[in-house]
A and B are shown apart, each in its own frame.
Chain A
Amino acid sequence: MTAVVTRASRRAPRPRSGRVPWILLVPAVAGVLFLVLPFAGMLLRAPWPAMGARVTDPDVVAALWLSLSTATAATAVSLLFGVPLAWLLARTEFPGRRLVRALVTVPLVIPPVVGGVALLMVLGRNGVIGRYLDAWFGLTLPFTSAAVVIAQVFVAMPFLVISVEGALRGADRRYEEAAATLGASRVTIFARVTLPMVLPGIAAGAVLCWARALGEFGATITFAGNFPGTTQTMPLAVYMAMQRDPEAAVVLSLVLLLVSLAVLATLRERWVRAA
């Protein structure tokens, strides 16, 4: 009798929902394996004994530092321009709004290398704008750390814009109306009502943007080049290492993997959970 009672109290009675159909389960498991196995392989092939020495190698440290700082700078720039742009797309009606929206998303679909070429055509020393930057201010962007940031902003900002615009469209606009009836101007409404409401969306967009910037390769190598210390970010360093020393490439990849996972996990804890 008691046994029956304990059993009943231990397991709440729940209607059976049946097994997961194999036709869905098998592809799902295969998908997970496909995504996880490469990392497992990398861990297996890593030169663990030599790890300490390799990780503290000045070139590795420099590449890592460059990657983290440029990705963060690119995210900051993207926030600065992307959030107002998302607001404009979500909250105003102007002729050509749909076209602007389509243009903003172009960097999402074109190969980053093409983006790099385009940037070079515009901001390069002989580019449409770059030539005046050079002539008037003595400013040459290509092959500098600034160019790395520009390349990253170009490919990563659309992620931020799209995600913030989605958050803005999902936010209840009646709160903004309520603020207006209280005498708030549009700027005040944006700063004190809209922004706090869509903060989780902005955080998610910023994380996405940062991750994309950190992984940027094509546009960077095309527009900024591959100079250790100034423009050689981690992905570029991995690629270069692969040519001459695959073991070094594995080490660099692991470092990049761990650092980005750590940063994303921390941000997720702090922002996404709080929201």
Chain B
Amino acid sequence: MRPPERASGTRSGASVPASTAGPALDAELRLRRGDFTLDVALTAEPGEVLALLGPNGAGKSSALRALAGLAPLAGGHVFVDGSDETTTAVEHRPIGMVFQDYLLFEHLSALDNVAFGPRCQGAARAEARSRAAELLDHMDLADHARARPRELSGGQAQRVALARALAVRPRLLLLDEPMAALDASTRIDVRARLRRLLEDFDGVTVLVTHDPLDAMVLADRIAVVESGRVVQRGEPAEVARRPRTSYVARLVGLNLFRGEGAGEVVELADPAPGGRVRVSVREPCRGPALVAFPPRAVALYPEHPHGSTRNVWRLTVDGIERFGDQVRVHLLGPPSLAADITPAALAELGLSRGDTVWAGVKASEVECYPG
């Protein structure tokens, strides 16, 4: 996307070569806003896409704004390519940012929006425009260069915003909920396209999203942020398979429990008044452990089932909702869990709220990992 050599001293004044030892992004962000405190440490390698995934109000956007210099830090540091940008003014940071609703300048054409950054960096008008045209061309937007932002579709506006952010040749690309302003029907295409464009970028990308799908598709690594802290880090597959908090478990659609491993059985922590709950798991584990299984692994029976199912509990129906072509049954325990069954099975069981039912989960479906 970017010419191989970065014009030295165009931004930040630091002439640190891209191949500095250490991570391309090394940030520790501490900030305070009223009662809310944010304290997260982020690192990323060149070319890596790091997603900050978390619920609204978790502090993801604050973290991104702090990286950009738009929110003042109470403590910590921001190193990009080894150079200290902690106190650098926003306009001198080696960053490019794509905002949630893109914030394209309405009074400028798409081309001039993209040329804005290079012009600010001192490029001549013709040079800035040619760089902008090149970027728009790369994003298949050459036909829309003259268009005003309001004439663009959501996906096109997103690419113009991305081109505008890349035009300043950033070392750190910041994306704030880049998919949030799009309607559901265009999201799949736009997401796939964004992924390809991000793959071309050789700096660090930090992406903020509350949508696990965005994080799974776009990111190389995920940091889950809850209440201003990183509660889990890992590759998308790892996060999806082994969630560490109930928030992540809900996002990736797993039943999650915390407990104490004793070989092939895990005793769940803080069970409800009903007493101890033990879960047989696939592979033995010891010590503090997390236990996860998907709702579709749960079978429901009107009577205590006979057979090989190792985990059987008598539970109360708390609610029933449609979930794709399945029906999700929320059950009150201990252990409280969700079960996905077919509408036919639901009809057969004749369940409604308050009924009791037997739930069974095979040990082979239950994943156990250190907690």
User: When the two chains form their complex, are residues A181 and B97 in contact, meaning their CB atoms are under 8 A apart?
Assistant: yes
Q: Which of B114-122, B193-201, B211-219 contacts A (4 or more CB under 8 A)?
A: B114-122
Classify the interface of chain A: helix, strand, loop or mixed: helix
Chain B at the A interface: SS class: mixed
Kindly provide the distance from the CB of A171 to the nearest chain B CB, expressed in whole angstroms.
11
Distance between B69 CB and nearest chain A CB, rounded to angstroms: 8
Q: Which of A168-196 contact B (CB under 8 A)?
A: 172, 174-175, 177-185, 188, 192-193, 196
CB contact between B70 and one of A180, A183, A193, A196 (< 8 Å): that residue: A180
Residues of B in contact, count (CB < 8 Å): 24
A193 to B113, CA, bound (A): 11
List, in ascending order, chain A residues with CB within 8 A of B178's CB. Answer: none
Task: Count contacts between A and B, CB distance < 8 Å.
Answer: 58
Number of interface residues of A (CB under 8 A): 17
In the bound assembly, the distance between CA atoms of A179 and B105 in angstroms comes to 9
Question: Which residues from 222 to 275 on chain B have a C-beta closer than 8 Å to any C-beta of chain A?
Answer: none
Q: How far is the CA of A174 from the CA of B93 in the complex (A)?
A: 17
Tell whether A197 is near chain B: CB-to-CB under 8 Å.
Answer: yes
Contact partner of A174 (CB less than 8 A), chosen from B95, B103, B116, is B103
Shortest Cβ distance from A179 into B: residue: B116
Q: Is B168's CB within 8 Å of the partner chain A?
A: yes
Residue from A172, A181, A193, A196 in contact with B90 in the complex, judged by beta carbons closer than 8 Å:
A181
Q: How far is the CA of A182 from the CA of B99 in the complex (A)?
A: 12
Contact string against B for A residues 200-228, beta-carbon threshold 8 Å, 1 for contact and 0 otherwise: 00000000000000000000000000000
Q: Are B120 and A185 in contact (CB under 8 A)?
A: yes
B103 x A184 contact (CB < 8 A): no
Task: Please state if A183 and B92 are interface contacts (CB–CB under 8 Å).
Answer: yes
Asked if A183 and B121 sit within 8 Å, CB to CB, the answer is yes
Cβ distance A234 to chain B, nearest Cβ, rounded Å? 37
Task: Let me know if B107 and A182 touch, CB within 8 A.
Answer: no
On whether A182 and B116 interact (CB within 8 A), knowing A175-B103, A193-B105, the answer reads yes
Can you list 9 A-B pairs, Cβ within 8 angstroms, ordered by A?
Answer: A177-B103, A181-B68, A181-B174, A182-B117, A182-B164, A182-B167, A183-B117, A183-B121, A185-B120
Which B residues form the contact surface with A (CB < 8 A)? 11, 68, 70, 90-93, 95-97, 99, 103, 105-107, 116-117, 120-121, 164-165, 167-168, 174
Known contacts A178-B97, A182-B116, A183-B11; 13 further A-B pairs (Cβ under 8 A): A178-B103, A181-B97, A181-B174, A182-B91, A182-B164, A182-B167, A183-B91, A185-B120, A192-B116, A193-B105, A196-B105, A196-B107, A197-B107
Which 4 A/B pairs are nearest by Cβ-Cβ distance? A182-B117, A183-B120, A181-B97, A180-B90
